[in-house]
Amino acid sequence: MENVRLILIVALAMLGLMIWEAWQADYGPQAVEPAPLAASSPAHETPVPNVPTPPTTEGGAMPDVQQAAAAPAAAAAQHVTVTTDLLELTLSTAGGTIDDTELRAYPVDPKVPDVGVRLFQDNPPKVYLFQGGLAGNVSLPTHHDLYTVERDDFRLADGAEQLVVPLRWRSP
């Protein structure tokens, strides 16, 4: 008796599919044929303006403007290492961004326990960053501002529950 019910359900589903296909064939969206292009003059009759060749540099490559603009902020930025029992973070004082994060207790491969899972990284082609900032009517820090820090290495002490890394910003 159980097989008859299953056969009827499958037959009903197939019948529904056939009805739906017939409906789509009769009332469904019609395919639109592309409009023919207007007759135009052949391409060889169209005059081509003289385009000057761009000047080349001595090295043959153009300098990268974004790297040149970011160089002063990156040069002034300092990197701070924060190590806990679970995480190893690299913070940048340029905007207080988290540049690199590794989960130390969770290896990528059990055969290589020294290499943890990376959450954030600043190595192309895979760049994953955390950038923060505040918005308001007064002068507040953004991800472009430089912060100051007392030292460049912070470690969670044994038995401690929290680690505070003070990044200080001074309003211009």
Residue 94 near residue 74 (C-beta atoms within 8 A)? yes
Q: Is residue 148 part of a domain?
A: yes
In the block, residue with structure tokens 């989960």: 103
Residue ranges in the chain whose pLDDT is less than 70: 1, 37-48, 51, 53-75
Helix (H) or strand (E) holding 14: helix 2-27
Q: Is residue 171 part of a domain?
A: no
Tell me what pLDDT residue 32 has: 74
Q: Is residue 138 part of a domain?
A: yes
Q: Is residue 57 part of a domain?
A: no
Q: How many domains does the chain have?
A: 1
Nearest Cα residue to 87 out of 108, 103, 65: 103
Q: Is residue 107 part of a domain?
A: yes
Q: How far apart are CA 66 and CA 63, in angstroms?
A: 9
Please write the tens of the pLDDT for every residue from 43-70.
556 666 776 766 665 655 555 544 444 4
pTM, two decimals, is 0.51
Nearest Cα residue to 93 out of 102, 83, 82: 82
Full residue range of the structural domain in which residue 101 is found: 79-155
Q: Is residue 170 part of a domain?
A: no
Tell me what pLDDT residue 63 has: 52
The overall longest dimension of the chain from CA atoms, in Å, is 86
Tell me what pLDDT residue 42 has: 56
Tell me what pLDDT residue 8 has: 95
Q: Is residue 14 part of a domain?
A: no
Q: Is residue 137 part of a domain?
A: yes
